[in-house]
Structure 1
Amino acid sequence: MPEKEKLRIDKYLWAIRLFKTRTMAADACKAGRVKLDGRNIKPSYEVKIGETYQVSKGIERKVIKVTGLLENRTDAKTAVTFYEDLTPVEQTQAFKSMFHAPMLKRDRGTGRPTKRDRREIDDLQDGFLEGKEDGGESVKEE
Structure 2
Amino acid sequence: MHDKDDETDDKVRLDKWLWAARFFKTRSLAIEAINGGKVHINQHRTKPAKEVHIGDELRIQQGYAERTVIIKGLLKQRRPASEAVLLYEETADSLQKRQTMQEHHHLELLTRPTRAGRPTKRDRRLIHHFTQDDDRKKT
- Per the normalisation by structure 2, the TM-score is 0.69
In the alignment, does 2:55 pair up with 1:50? Answer: yes
Residue in 1 that maps onto 2:13? 8
For residue 96 of structure 2, the aligned residue among 79, 84, 90 is 90
Residue in 2 that maps onto 1:80? 85
SS of 1:88's equivalent in the other structure is helix
Q: CA deviation at 1:90?
A: 3.2
Which consecutive unaligned segments of at least 5 residues does structure 2 have?
1-5, 116-120, 128-139
The amino acid of 1:89's aligned partner reads L
Distance in 2 (CA, whole Å) between partners of 1:99 and 1:11 is 33
- Per the normalisation by structure 1, the TM-score is 0.68
Residue in 1 that maps onto 2:134? none
For residue 40 of structure 2, the aligned residue among 22, 35, 43 is 35
Q: CA deviation at 1:99?
A: 4.7
Q: CA deviation at 1:84?
A: 0.5
Q: CA deviation at 1:64?
A: 0.7
Larger Rg: 2
C-alpha RMSD of the superposition: 2.4
Distance in 1 (CA, whole Å) between partners of 2:23 and 2:106 is 19
For residue 17 of structure 1, the aligned residue among 9, 12, 22 is 22
Aligned length: 111
- Cα pair distance change 1:60/1:78, threshold 3 Å: same
Per-residue deviation, residues 109-142 of structure 1 (Å, max 9, x unmatched)? xx945748xxxxxxxxxxxxxxxxxxxxxxxxxx
Task: Assess if the C-alpha contact under 8 Å between 2:66 and 2:94 holds in 1.
Answer: no
Q: CA deviation at 1:48?
A: 0.3
